[in-house]
Amino acid sequence: MTRMPMLMALSITLVFAAGAFAAQPLDCYYAARPTAANRKPEMSIHQNCAIVSGDGSVRIRTRHLKALYFNADGLATLNVKGRGWFYVRRNGHVLEVLSIDNGADEFSEGLVRGRSHGKVAFFDRSFRMVLLPAYDFAWAFENGRALVCSGCKEKIVADDPENHHTVTGGLWGYIDHHGKEVIPVKYSRGEALRRDELMER
């Protein structure tokens, strides 16, 4: 896996790999920006806030884009019904990301996890793809490394009312910020974790 050229950027909307869709409105779940009338808005459903175009791309309707709460980095989060969690920029650019604890994946060491062609890729805050999609799953970066796996499967934890997922099977290892396998992806998850602990000593 290699670092993408810095000039490469996602288009204004995220295009899904699935087949063509008829243009259709979708509901969203987000917390609007504070107003004088509502100083502490909570997460709630907003009808017809997003549109999926015929090519599968998603865009946020203008009035909802204006209503979103943007943080200091100029990013807002929202869940598009049936699509998952997205980061949104003020200019309408969107990036679909993995979910964690029933929310959008958080940036760690400057990168966030998303999917491309069924694999996990890493993106920076400008939504540039920094690390190409090469693994079936990846954890967030920590101490300069990310735990990744090939051939692993995600599944819902049994009897969990929060519908958390777990990842099982496959081969595991660690990559660095350049996508280099600093621990080769050829071990069980437990063995990869042990080897990572040895590197920390």
Please report the pLDDT score of residue 20 as a whole number.
41
Spatial CB neighbours of 3, under 8 Å, sequence gap ≥ 6: 130, 131, 178, 179
- DSSP 8-state assignment for residue 200: H
Please report the pLDDT score of residue 55 as a whole number.
78
Closest by Cα among 200, 194, 142 to 172:
194
**How far is 59 from 200, CA to CA, in rounded Å?**
43
**How far is 106 from 110, CA to CA, in rounded Å?**
9
- DSSP 8-state assignment for residue 3: B
One digit per residue, the tens of pLDDT, for the chain of length 201 reads: 444 443 333 333 333 333 444 568 899 999 898 888 888 888 999 999 999 888 778 899 999 999 999 999 999 999 999 889 999 999 999 999 999 888 999 999 999 999 998 999 999 999 999 999 999 999 999 999 999 999 999 887 766 666 667 899 999 999 999 999 999 999 999 999 999 999 887
Is pTM beyond 0.85? Reply is no
- DSSP 8-state assignment for residue 45: E
Handedness of CA 149, 4, 145, 110 (dihedral sign): negative
Please report the pLDDT score of residue 17 as a whole number.
36
Contact yes or no for 2/121 (Cβ under 8 A): no
Contact yes or no for 114/83 (Cβ under 8 A): no
Please report the pLDDT score of residue 12 as a whole number.
32
- DSSP 8-state assignment for residue 17: S
**How far is 142 from 108, CA to CA, in rounded Å?**
7
Contact yes or no for 96/84 (Cβ under 8 A): yes
**How far is 177 from 191, CA to CA, in rounded Å?**
21
**How far is 86 from 93, CA to CA, in rounded Å?**
10
Please report the pLDDT score of residue 13 as a whole number.
38
Half-sphere exposure of 41 (CA within 13 A, CB side): 17
- The three state secondary structure string of 60-107 is ECHHHHHHECCCCCCEEEEEECCCEEEEEECCCCEEEECEECCEECCC
- What backbone torsions phi and psi does residue 88 show, to the nearest 5 degrees? -130, 140
